[in-house]
Amino acid sequence: MISSEPKKRIVLVHPRGFNWFPGKTDITDIANRMVPQGLLSIAAYLEKEGHDVFVYDCLGPHAPVDLSEQAKAILAYEPQIAGFSATTSSFPDAASLAQKIKEHSPDIITVCGGVHVSALQGKLLEKYPSLDYLVAGEGEITMTELAAGLDAAAIKGLIRRERAKVIVNEPRPQIANLDSLPFPAYEKLAGFPHDYHLPLFSYVNTPGSTMITSRGCMFQCSYCDRSVFKKGFRYNSANYIYEHMKHLRTKFGVRHINIYDDLFTANRPRIVELCDKLTRFPLGINFNCAVRVGYTDDDLLKMLKDAGCLMVSLGIESADPQMLNRHKSGVSLTEVRDTVRRIQAAGLRAKGLFMMGLPGETEESIQRTSDFIISLGLDDMNMAKFTPFPGAPLWLTINEEGTFDENWRLMNCLNFVFVPQGIASKERLDQLYNEHVKRFYSDCGWRKKFRKRLWQHRKSILYLLRHLPSFWSAKNQFEPEK
Protein backbone atom coordinates (compact mmCIF):
# COMPACT_ATOMS: atom_id res chain seq x y z
CA MET A 1 0.00 0.00 0.00
CA ILE A 2 1.28 3.47 -0.88
CA SER A 3 -0.42 5.31 1.99
CA SER A 4 -2.85 4.93 4.86
CA GLU A 5 -4.43 8.33 4.12
CA PRO A 6 -8.25 8.43 3.86
CA LYS A 7 -9.44 6.90 0.61
CA LYS A 8 -10.75 9.13 -2.15
CA ARG A 9 -13.77 9.12 -4.45
CA ILE A 10 -12.33 9.39 -7.94
CA VAL A 11 -13.99 9.68 -11.34
CA LEU A 12 -11.81 8.85 -14.34
CA VAL A 13 -13.16 10.36 -17.55
CA HIS A 14 -12.65 9.35 -21.17
CA PRO A 15 -13.55 12.57 -23.09
CA ARG A 16 -15.48 12.25 -26.31
CA GLY A 17 -13.54 14.72 -28.42
CA PHE A 18 -14.21 15.28 -32.09
CA ASN A 19 -13.91 12.01 -33.98
CA TRP A 20 -15.48 12.50 -37.37
CA PHE A 21 -15.87 15.00 -40.20
CA PRO A 22 -16.77 18.69 -39.69
CA GLY A 23 -20.49 19.28 -40.14
CA LYS A 24 -21.35 15.57 -40.04
CA THR A 25 -22.87 13.44 -37.29
CA ASP A 26 -20.14 11.61 -35.36
CA ILE A 27 -20.79 7.87 -35.74
CA THR A 28 -17.44 6.55 -34.56
CA ASP A 29 -18.94 5.18 -31.35
CA ILE A 30 -21.39 3.16 -33.45
CA ALA A 31 -18.79 1.87 -35.91
CA ASN A 32 -16.04 1.08 -33.40
CA ARG A 33 -16.48 1.80 -29.70
CA MET A 34 -13.11 0.97 -28.18
CA VAL A 35 -12.35 0.21 -24.56
CA PRO A 36 -10.23 3.02 -22.97
CA GLN A 37 -7.50 0.61 -21.89
CA GLY A 38 -5.15 3.11 -20.21
CA LEU A 39 -7.92 4.60 -18.10
CA LEU A 40 -9.12 1.17 -16.98
CA SER A 41 -5.58 0.20 -15.99
CA ILE A 42 -5.33 3.30 -13.79
CA ALA A 43 -8.79 2.58 -12.35
CA ALA A 44 -7.75 -0.96 -11.39
CA TYR A 45 -4.54 0.28 -9.76
CA LEU A 46 -6.37 2.94 -7.74
CA GLU A 47 -9.00 0.45 -6.66
CA LYS A 48 -6.28 -1.96 -5.55
CA GLU A 49 -5.13 0.81 -3.18
CA GLY A 50 -8.62 1.03 -1.72
CA HIS A 51 -10.06 4.09 -3.47
CA ASP A 52 -13.65 4.34 -4.72
CA VAL A 53 -13.22 4.63 -8.48
CA PHE A 54 -15.82 5.35 -11.15
CA VAL A 55 -15.20 5.42 -14.89
CA TYR A 56 -17.21 7.75 -17.10
CA ASP A 57 -16.82 7.08 -20.82
CA CYS A 58 -18.16 10.04 -22.81
CA LEU A 59 -18.17 7.75 -25.86
CA GLY A 60 -20.00 5.01 -23.97
CA PRO A 61 -23.54 3.77 -24.64
CA HIS A 62 -26.22 6.36 -23.87
CA ALA A 63 -23.65 8.97 -22.82
CA PRO A 64 -24.85 12.48 -23.76
CA VAL A 65 -22.96 14.46 -26.38
CA ASP A 66 -23.56 17.78 -24.61
CA LEU A 67 -20.62 18.77 -22.36
CA SER A 68 -22.87 20.30 -19.68
CA GLU A 69 -24.78 17.02 -19.41
CA GLN A 70 -21.51 15.09 -19.21
CA ALA A 71 -20.27 17.38 -16.43
CA LYS A 72 -23.54 16.88 -14.55
CA ALA A 73 -23.11 13.09 -14.77
CA ILE A 74 -19.53 13.32 -13.49
CA LEU A 75 -20.55 15.59 -10.59
CA ALA A 76 -23.30 13.14 -9.61
CA TYR A 77 -20.58 10.77 -8.38
CA GLU A 78 -19.50 13.49 -5.89
CA PRO A 79 -15.79 12.97 -6.65
CA GLN A 80 -12.88 14.43 -4.77
CA ILE A 81 -10.68 13.94 -7.81
CA ALA A 82 -11.70 14.07 -11.48
CA GLY A 83 -9.07 12.61 -13.80
CA PHE A 84 -9.09 12.84 -17.60
CA SER A 85 -7.13 10.83 -20.16
CA ALA A 86 -6.96 12.75 -23.42
CA THR A 87 -5.67 12.51 -26.96
CA THR A 88 -4.91 15.66 -28.94
CA SER A 89 -8.43 15.80 -30.40
CA SER A 90 -10.15 15.13 -27.06
CA PHE A 91 -8.03 17.46 -24.90
CA PRO A 92 -10.27 20.53 -25.55
CA ASP A 93 -13.24 18.53 -24.22
CA ALA A 94 -11.24 17.49 -21.14
CA ALA A 95 -10.31 21.11 -20.43
CA SER A 96 -13.92 22.30 -20.91
CA LEU A 97 -15.26 19.58 -18.61
CA ALA A 98 -12.67 20.48 -15.97
CA GLN A 99 -13.78 24.10 -16.15
CA LYS A 100 -17.46 23.18 -15.75
CA ILE A 101 -16.60 20.96 -12.80
CA LYS A 102 -14.57 23.73 -11.16
CA GLU A 103 -17.37 26.25 -11.66
CA HIS A 104 -19.72 23.96 -9.78
CA SER A 105 -17.34 22.54 -7.15
CA PRO A 106 -14.00 24.40 -6.92
CA ASP A 107 -12.60 21.95 -4.35
CA ILE A 108 -12.61 18.98 -6.74
CA ILE A 109 -9.03 18.27 -7.84
CA THR A 110 -8.80 18.11 -11.64
CA VAL A 111 -6.03 16.10 -13.33
CA CYS A 112 -5.32 15.32 -16.98
CA GLY A 113 -2.95 12.82 -18.55
CA GLY A 114 -2.51 11.04 -21.85
CA VAL A 115 -0.40 11.39 -24.96
CA HIS A 116 -1.19 15.09 -25.60
CA VAL A 117 -0.23 16.04 -22.05
CA SER A 118 2.93 13.92 -22.11
CA ALA A 119 4.04 15.65 -25.33
CA LEU A 120 3.34 19.30 -24.39
CA GLN A 121 3.63 19.09 -20.60
CA GLY A 122 3.93 22.43 -18.73
CA LYS A 123 2.76 24.55 -21.66
CA LEU A 124 -0.73 23.17 -21.17
CA LEU A 125 -0.93 23.96 -17.47
CA GLU A 126 -0.02 27.57 -18.21
CA LYS A 127 -2.98 27.91 -20.61
CA TYR A 128 -5.65 25.92 -18.75
CA PRO A 129 -6.19 27.17 -15.18
CA SER A 130 -9.14 24.80 -14.64
CA LEU A 131 -6.67 21.89 -14.50
CA ASP A 132 -4.87 21.55 -11.18
CA TYR A 133 -2.34 18.93 -12.26
CA LEU A 134 -1.06 17.14 -15.34
CA VAL A 135 0.39 13.64 -15.40
CA ALA A 136 3.20 12.92 -17.88
CA GLY A 137 4.06 9.35 -18.81
CA GLU A 138 2.44 6.27 -17.28
CA GLY A 139 -0.34 7.24 -14.90
CA GLU A 140 -0.95 4.30 -12.55
CA ILE A 141 1.55 5.13 -9.80
CA THR A 142 1.49 8.90 -10.25
CA MET A 143 -2.29 9.06 -9.85
CA THR A 144 -2.18 6.72 -6.87
CA GLU A 145 0.41 8.83 -5.07
CA LEU A 146 -1.62 11.97 -5.76
CA ALA A 147 -4.79 10.29 -4.41
CA ALA A 148 -2.86 9.14 -1.35
CA GLY A 149 -2.09 12.75 -0.44
CA LEU A 150 1.67 12.67 -0.96
CA ASP A 151 3.45 16.00 -1.23
CA ALA A 152 2.92 17.09 -4.84
CA ALA A 153 6.54 18.26 -5.06
CA ALA A 154 7.72 14.70 -4.41
CA ILE A 155 5.49 12.92 -6.96
CA LYS A 156 7.44 11.94 -10.06
CA GLY A 157 5.68 12.50 -13.36
CA LEU A 158 3.46 15.27 -11.93
CA ILE A 159 3.20 18.76 -13.45
CA ARG A 160 1.94 21.32 -10.95
CA ARG A 161 1.78 24.96 -9.94
CA GLU A 162 3.81 26.51 -7.19
CA ARG A 163 2.29 29.91 -6.60
CA ALA A 164 2.15 31.37 -10.12
CA LYS A 165 4.92 29.19 -11.55
CA VAL A 166 4.45 25.89 -13.42
CA ILE A 167 6.76 23.16 -12.16
CA VAL A 168 7.51 19.97 -14.10
CA ASN A 169 8.59 17.33 -11.59
CA GLU A 170 11.20 14.68 -12.21
CA PRO A 171 9.97 12.15 -14.82
CA ARG A 172 8.20 9.02 -13.65
CA PRO A 173 10.35 5.91 -14.19
CA GLN A 174 8.77 3.30 -16.43
CA ILE A 175 7.00 0.37 -14.80
CA ALA A 176 9.54 -2.37 -15.36
CA ASN A 177 7.32 -5.35 -14.57
CA LEU A 178 4.01 -5.00 -16.39
CA ASP A 179 2.82 -8.26 -14.82
CA SER A 180 2.64 -6.36 -11.51
CA LEU A 181 -0.36 -4.40 -12.81
CA PRO A 182 -3.88 -5.71 -12.18
CA PHE A 183 -6.08 -6.46 -15.15
CA PRO A 184 -7.89 -3.37 -16.43
CA ALA A 185 -11.16 -2.66 -14.58
CA TYR A 186 -13.48 -3.60 -17.47
CA GLU A 187 -16.38 -4.01 -15.06
CA LYS A 188 -16.46 -0.23 -14.53
CA LEU A 189 -17.57 0.40 -18.12
CA ALA A 190 -21.33 0.71 -18.48
CA GLY A 191 -22.50 -1.74 -21.14
CA PHE A 192 -19.27 -3.73 -21.40
CA PRO A 193 -18.74 -5.89 -23.38
CA HIS A 194 -21.91 -5.97 -25.50
CA ASP A 195 -22.00 -2.22 -26.20
CA TYR A 196 -18.31 -2.01 -27.13
CA HIS A 197 -17.90 -2.92 -30.79
CA LEU A 198 -14.86 -4.01 -32.77
CA PRO A 199 -14.54 -2.83 -36.40
CA LEU A 200 -17.02 -4.51 -38.73
CA PHE A 201 -15.90 -7.74 -40.42
CA SER A 202 -12.84 -8.05 -38.15
CA TYR A 203 -14.37 -10.85 -36.08
CA VAL A 204 -16.48 -14.00 -36.34
CA ASN A 205 -17.80 -14.28 -32.79
CA THR A 206 -19.13 -11.69 -30.35
CA PRO A 207 -18.88 -10.01 -27.90
CA GLY A 208 -15.45 -8.52 -28.43
CA SER A 209 -12.86 -6.61 -26.44
CA THR A 210 -9.40 -5.14 -26.78
CA MET A 211 -6.10 -5.78 -25.02
CA ILE A 212 -2.64 -4.25 -24.88
CA THR A 213 0.15 -6.63 -23.84
CA SER A 214 3.23 -4.41 -24.19
CA ARG A 215 4.43 -0.82 -23.90
CA GLY A 216 7.01 1.10 -25.86
CA CYS A 217 8.62 0.47 -29.22
CA MET A 218 12.18 -0.14 -30.38
CA PHE A 219 11.61 1.85 -33.56
CA GLN A 220 11.07 5.54 -34.22
CA CYS A 221 8.74 6.05 -37.16
CA SER A 222 8.57 9.70 -38.17
CA TYR A 223 4.84 10.08 -37.48
CA CYS A 224 4.55 8.18 -34.20
CA ASP A 225 4.18 9.90 -30.82
CA ARG A 226 5.98 7.92 -28.11
CA SER A 227 5.55 10.54 -25.37
CA VAL A 228 3.86 8.21 -22.86
CA PHE A 229 5.66 4.86 -23.16
CA LYS A 230 8.92 6.09 -24.76
CA LYS A 231 11.35 3.84 -26.58
CA GLY A 232 12.30 0.37 -25.44
CA PHE A 233 9.97 -2.60 -25.30
CA ARG A 234 8.32 -3.94 -22.14
CA TYR A 235 5.75 -6.69 -22.23
CA ASN A 236 3.50 -8.96 -20.24
CA SER A 237 4.53 -12.58 -19.88
CA ALA A 238 2.73 -15.31 -21.80
CA ASN A 239 1.10 -16.57 -18.60
CA TYR A 240 -0.20 -13.08 -17.73
CA ILE A 241 -1.68 -12.67 -21.22
CA TYR A 242 -3.35 -16.08 -21.03
CA GLU A 243 -4.86 -15.32 -17.62
CA HIS A 244 -5.99 -11.90 -18.90
CA MET A 245 -7.74 -13.55 -21.85
CA LYS A 246 -9.23 -16.16 -19.53
CA HIS A 247 -10.51 -13.35 -17.27
CA LEU A 248 -12.27 -11.71 -20.24
CA ARG A 249 -13.74 -15.03 -21.35
CA THR A 250 -14.98 -16.33 -17.99
CA LYS A 251 -16.12 -13.07 -16.36
CA PHE A 252 -17.52 -11.23 -19.39
CA GLY A 253 -18.12 -13.93 -22.02
CA VAL A 254 -15.75 -12.30 -24.53
CA ARG A 255 -15.25 -14.35 -27.69
CA HIS A 256 -12.91 -12.14 -29.74
CA ILE A 257 -10.00 -9.89 -28.71
CA ASN A 258 -8.18 -7.27 -30.78
CA ILE A 259 -4.63 -6.99 -29.45
CA TYR A 260 -3.39 -3.45 -30.15
CA ASP A 261 0.35 -3.98 -29.70
CA ASP A 262 2.63 -2.46 -32.32
CA LEU A 263 5.15 -5.26 -31.86
CA PHE A 264 3.15 -8.24 -30.65
CA THR A 265 5.54 -10.83 -32.08
CA ALA A 266 8.81 -8.97 -31.41
CA ASN A 267 9.65 -11.27 -28.49
CA ARG A 268 9.18 -14.62 -30.16
CA PRO A 269 9.55 -16.89 -27.09
CA ARG A 270 6.62 -15.29 -25.24
CA ILE A 271 4.34 -15.69 -28.29
CA VAL A 272 5.42 -19.31 -28.76
CA GLU A 273 4.63 -19.96 -25.09
CA LEU A 274 1.28 -18.15 -25.33
CA CYS A 275 0.26 -20.00 -28.49
CA ASP A 276 1.25 -23.33 -26.94
CA LYS A 277 -0.92 -22.62 -23.90
CA LEU A 278 -3.89 -21.43 -25.98
CA THR A 279 -3.61 -24.55 -28.14
CA ARG A 280 -3.35 -26.98 -25.23
CA PHE A 281 -5.93 -25.20 -23.06
CA PRO A 282 -8.25 -23.38 -25.49
CA LEU A 283 -10.45 -20.59 -24.18
CA GLY A 284 -12.92 -20.44 -27.07
CA ILE A 285 -11.53 -17.06 -28.12
CA ASN A 286 -10.36 -15.71 -31.45
CA PHE A 287 -7.93 -12.80 -31.60
CA ASN A 288 -6.36 -10.36 -34.04
CA CYS A 289 -2.86 -8.96 -33.70
CA ALA A 290 -0.34 -6.80 -35.55
CA VAL A 291 3.15 -7.76 -36.72
CA ARG A 292 6.06 -5.84 -38.18
CA VAL A 293 7.89 -7.00 -41.26
CA GLY A 294 10.86 -9.10 -40.13
CA TYR A 295 9.24 -10.27 -36.89
CA THR A 296 7.32 -13.30 -38.05
CA ASP A 297 8.03 -16.61 -39.74
CA ASP A 298 6.02 -19.52 -41.11
CA ASP A 299 6.20 -21.60 -37.92
CA LEU A 300 5.04 -18.67 -35.79
CA LEU A 301 2.18 -17.89 -38.16
CA LYS A 302 1.00 -21.51 -37.96
CA MET A 303 1.17 -21.32 -34.15
CA LEU A 304 -0.91 -18.14 -34.18
CA LYS A 305 -3.50 -19.81 -36.42
CA ASP A 306 -3.68 -22.91 -34.19
CA ALA A 307 -4.04 -20.68 -31.11
CA GLY A 308 -7.13 -18.96 -32.51
CA CYS A 309 -5.74 -15.97 -34.39
CA LEU A 310 -8.08 -14.78 -37.13
CA MET A 311 -6.38 -11.75 -38.70
CA VAL A 312 -2.90 -10.21 -38.70
CA SER A 313 -2.33 -6.52 -39.41
CA LEU A 314 0.83 -5.22 -41.01
CA GLY A 315 1.98 -1.60 -40.87
CA ILE A 316 2.98 -0.66 -44.44
CA GLU A 317 2.07 3.07 -44.71
CA SER A 318 3.27 3.70 -48.29
CA ALA A 319 4.44 1.87 -51.40
CA ASP A 320 6.76 4.68 -52.45
CA PRO A 321 10.35 3.58 -51.62
CA GLN A 322 11.51 7.11 -50.77
CA MET A 323 8.53 7.64 -48.48
CA LEU A 324 9.14 4.31 -46.76
CA ASN A 325 12.82 5.04 -46.29
CA ARG A 326 12.06 8.39 -44.70
CA HIS A 327 9.07 7.54 -42.54
CA LYS A 328 9.33 3.79 -41.78
CA SER A 329 12.89 2.68 -42.34
CA GLY A 330 13.80 -0.99 -42.39
CA VAL A 331 10.69 -2.07 -44.31
CA SER A 332 10.94 -3.05 -47.98
CA LEU A 333 8.10 -3.64 -50.43
CA THR A 334 9.51 -7.05 -51.32
CA GLU A 335 9.39 -8.09 -47.65
CA VAL A 336 5.87 -6.69 -47.31
CA ARG A 337 4.65 -8.71 -50.29
CA ASP A 338 6.30 -11.86 -48.98
CA THR A 339 4.91 -11.38 -45.46
CA VAL A 340 1.35 -10.90 -46.75
CA ARG A 341 1.69 -14.04 -48.86
CA ARG A 342 2.92 -16.08 -45.89
CA ILE A 343 0.19 -14.76 -43.57
CA GLN A 344 -2.47 -15.90 -46.00
CA ALA A 345 -0.72 -19.19 -46.71
CA ALA A 346 -1.00 -19.95 -42.99
CA GLY A 347 -4.77 -19.56 -43.23
CA LEU A 348 -4.84 -16.13 -41.56
CA ARG A 349 -6.41 -12.97 -42.89
CA ALA A 350 -3.99 -10.18 -43.83
CA LYS A 351 -4.86 -6.54 -43.14
CA GLY A 352 -2.70 -3.72 -44.46
CA LEU A 353 -2.30 -0.46 -42.54
CA PHE A 354 -1.52 2.59 -44.67
CA MET A 355 -1.21 6.34 -44.22
CA MET A 356 -1.92 9.06 -46.78
CA GLY A 357 -0.60 12.62 -46.75
CA LEU A 358 2.80 12.25 -45.09
CA PRO A 359 5.44 14.88 -45.88
CA GLY A 360 6.83 14.15 -49.34
CA GLU A 361 3.53 12.69 -50.59
CA THR A 362 2.59 13.39 -54.22
CA GLU A 363 -0.21 12.26 -56.47
CA GLU A 364 2.26 9.82 -58.01
CA SER A 365 3.18 8.27 -54.64
CA ILE A 366 -0.51 7.96 -53.76
CA GLN A 367 -1.21 6.18 -57.06
CA ARG A 368 1.76 3.88 -56.49
CA THR A 369 0.48 2.97 -53.03
CA SER A 370 -3.05 2.38 -54.32
CA ASP A 371 -1.77 0.08 -57.08
CA PHE A 372 0.35 -1.82 -54.55
CA ILE A 373 -2.62 -2.27 -52.21
CA ILE A 374 -4.70 -3.83 -54.99
CA SER A 375 -1.82 -6.09 -56.06
CA LEU A 376 -1.38 -7.50 -52.54
CA GLY A 377 -4.78 -9.18 -52.46
CA LEU A 378 -5.38 -8.09 -48.86
CA ASP A 379 -8.34 -9.27 -46.81
CA ASP A 380 -8.82 -5.83 -45.30
CA MET A 381 -7.20 -2.40 -45.33
CA ASN A 382 -7.13 0.73 -43.25
CA MET A 383 -5.97 4.07 -44.66
CA ALA A 384 -5.28 6.70 -41.98
CA LYS A 385 -5.07 10.40 -42.76
CA PHE A 386 -1.65 11.56 -41.63
CA THR A 387 -1.91 13.83 -38.59
CA PRO A 388 1.13 15.58 -37.09
CA PHE A 389 1.21 14.99 -33.32
CA PRO A 390 3.27 17.09 -30.89
CA GLY A 391 5.39 14.19 -29.66
CA ALA A 392 6.31 12.78 -33.08
CA PRO A 393 9.72 13.43 -34.69
CA LEU A 394 8.03 15.18 -37.64
CA TRP A 395 6.49 17.80 -35.36
CA LEU A 396 9.64 19.93 -35.22
CA THR A 397 9.74 20.58 -38.97
CA ILE A 398 6.11 20.09 -40.00
CA ASN A 399 5.52 23.74 -40.96
CA GLU A 400 8.41 23.53 -43.43
CA GLU A 401 6.89 20.50 -45.16
CA GLY A 402 3.55 21.90 -46.26
CA THR A 403 0.45 23.66 -44.92
CA PHE A 404 -0.55 22.78 -41.35
CA ASP A 405 -3.77 23.81 -39.58
CA GLU A 406 -3.07 23.14 -35.89
CA ASN A 407 -6.69 22.60 -34.91
CA TRP A 408 -6.53 20.12 -32.05
CA ARG A 409 -10.17 19.02 -32.42
CA LEU A 410 -9.51 17.87 -35.99
CA MET A 411 -6.20 16.12 -35.23
CA ASN A 412 -7.63 12.61 -35.13
CA CYS A 413 -6.35 10.81 -38.26
CA LEU A 414 -9.84 11.24 -39.78
CA ASN A 415 -9.29 14.76 -41.12
CA PHE A 416 -6.45 16.19 -43.18
CA VAL A 417 -5.02 19.07 -41.15
CA PHE A 418 -1.72 18.89 -43.06
CA VAL A 419 -1.32 19.20 -46.84
CA PRO A 420 2.14 18.27 -48.16
CA GLN A 421 3.85 20.50 -50.69
CA GLY A 422 3.35 17.95 -53.47
CA ILE A 423 -0.46 18.09 -53.27
CA ALA A 424 -2.38 21.07 -54.67
CA SER A 425 -4.94 21.50 -51.89
CA LYS A 426 -6.77 19.88 -49.01
CA GLU A 427 -9.77 19.40 -51.29
CA ARG A 428 -7.62 17.49 -53.77
CA LEU A 429 -6.13 15.36 -50.99
CA ASP A 430 -9.61 14.50 -49.70
CA GLN A 431 -10.66 13.59 -53.23
CA LEU A 432 -7.67 11.30 -53.72
CA TYR A 433 -8.31 9.66 -50.35
CA ASN A 434 -11.95 8.99 -51.15
CA GLU A 435 -11.14 7.61 -54.59
CA HIS A 436 -8.52 5.17 -53.39
CA VAL A 437 -10.43 3.90 -50.36
CA LYS A 438 -13.43 3.28 -52.59
CA ARG A 439 -11.15 1.61 -55.15
CA PHE A 440 -10.09 -1.03 -52.62
CA TYR A 441 -13.62 -1.94 -51.56
CA SER A 442 -14.82 -1.93 -55.17
CA ASP A 443 -12.05 -4.27 -56.34
CA CYS A 444 -13.44 -7.52 -57.74
CA GLY A 445 -10.75 -9.59 -55.98
CA TRP A 446 -11.67 -8.19 -52.55
CA ARG A 447 -15.39 -8.54 -53.21
CA LYS A 448 -14.95 -12.18 -54.21
CA LYS A 449 -13.19 -12.90 -50.90
CA PHE A 450 -15.88 -11.05 -49.01
CA ARG A 451 -18.68 -13.03 -50.65
CA LYS A 452 -17.02 -16.31 -49.71
CA ARG A 453 -17.09 -15.22 -46.05
CA LEU A 454 -20.68 -13.97 -45.90
CA TRP A 455 -21.63 -16.62 -43.32
CA GLN A 456 -18.59 -15.80 -41.18
CA HIS A 457 -19.56 -12.13 -41.40
CA ARG A 458 -23.20 -12.68 -40.45
CA LYS A 459 -22.91 -10.95 -37.06
CA SER A 460 -21.24 -7.92 -38.62
CA ILE A 461 -23.90 -7.83 -41.34
CA LEU A 462 -26.72 -7.96 -38.79
CA TYR A 463 -25.10 -5.15 -36.81
CA LEU A 464 -24.66 -3.10 -39.98
CA LEU A 465 -28.32 -3.57 -40.91
CA ARG A 466 -29.44 -2.44 -37.46
CA HIS A 467 -27.46 0.79 -37.90
CA LEU A 468 -27.83 1.13 -41.66
CA PRO A 469 -28.67 4.89 -41.81
CA SER A 470 -25.50 5.80 -39.91
CA PHE A 471 -23.28 3.52 -41.97
CA TRP A 472 -24.86 4.73 -45.21
CA SER A 473 -24.03 8.29 -44.18
CA ALA A 474 -20.44 7.23 -43.49
CA LYS A 475 -20.19 5.49 -46.87
CA ASN A 476 -21.17 8.70 -48.62
CA GLN A 477 -18.10 10.38 -47.16
CA PHE A 478 -15.98 8.18 -49.44
CA GLU A 479 -17.81 8.97 -52.66
CA PRO A 480 -15.49 10.96 -54.93
CA GLU A 481 -16.60 14.52 -55.39
CA LYS A 482 -17.81 15.28 -58.90
Fold classification of 198-476 (topology level): TIM Barrel (3.20.20)
pLDDT class of 482 with cuts at 50, 70, 90: very low
pLDDT in tens, 445-476: 999 999 999 999 999 999 999 888 877 766 66
Q: What is d(CA 465, CA 306) in angstroms, rounded to the nearest whole number?
A: 32
**Cα angle 461, 414, 115; round to 5:** 110
pLDDT in tens, 157-187: 999 999 889 999 999 999 999 999 999 999 9
Strand order in the sheet with 52-57: 52-57, 9-14, 81-85, 109-113, 133-135, 158-162, 165-168
| Beta strand 158-162 pairing with 165-168 | antiparallel
Task: Locate CATH 3.20.20.70 in the chain.
Answer: 198-476
Q: What is the mean pLDDT of the chain?
A: 93
User: What's the per-residue H, E or C state across 221-283?
Assistant: CCCCCCCCCCECCEECCHHHHHHHHHHHHHHHCCCEEEECCCCCCCCHHHHHHHHHHHHHCCC
pLDDT in tens, 31-81: 789 999 999 999 999 999 999 999 999 999 989 999 999 999 999 999 999
Whole-prediction pTM value?
0.94
pLDDT class of 26 with cuts at 50, 70, 90: low
Q: For residue 32, what pLDDT is reported?
A: 84
- Residue 39, C-beta contacts closer than 8 angstroms, at least 6 positions apart: 12, 13, 14, 55, 85
Residues in the chain: 482
Q: For residue 228, what pLDDT is reported?
A: 75
Residue 478 has pLDDT above 60, yes or no: no
Q: For residue 24, what pLDDT is reported?
A: 64
For the segment 272-282, the average pLDDT, to the nearest whole number, is 98
* CATH code assigned to 9-168: 3.40.50.280
Could you please report the per-residue DSSP string of 119-158? Answer: HHTHHHHHH-TT--EEE-S--HHHHHHHHTT--GGG-TTE
Residue 195 has pLDDT above 50, yes or no: yes
Q: For residue 217, what pLDDT is reported?
A: 85
Type of residue found at 432: L
Of 89, 150, 88, 93, the C-alpha closest to 119 is 88
Return the SS3 of 383: strand
- Kindly compute the dihedral angle of the four CA atoms of residues 212, 333, 331, 319, in this order, to the nearest 10 degrees: -80
Of 283, 318, 339, the C-alpha closest to 420 is 318
Return the SS3 of 288: strand
pLDDT in tens, 75-124: 999 999 999 999 999 999 999 999 999 999 999 999 999 999 999 999 99
pLDDT in tens, 390-406: 999 999 999 999 999 99
Q: What is d(CA 372, CA 181) in angstroms, rounded to the nearest whole number?
A: 42
Q: What is d(CA 244, CA 228) in angstroms, rounded to the nearest whole number?
A: 23
Task: Locate CATH 3.40.50.280 in the chain.
Answer: 9-168
Residue 481 has pLDDT above 80, yes or no: no
**Cα angle 301, 303, 308; round to 5:** 100
Cis peptide before 207 (omega within 30 of 0): yes
pLDDT class of 18 with cuts at 50, 70, 90: confident
Provide φ and ψ at 272, rounded to 5°: -60, -45
pLDDT in tens, 351-391: 999 999 999 999 999 999 999 999 999 999 999 999 999 99
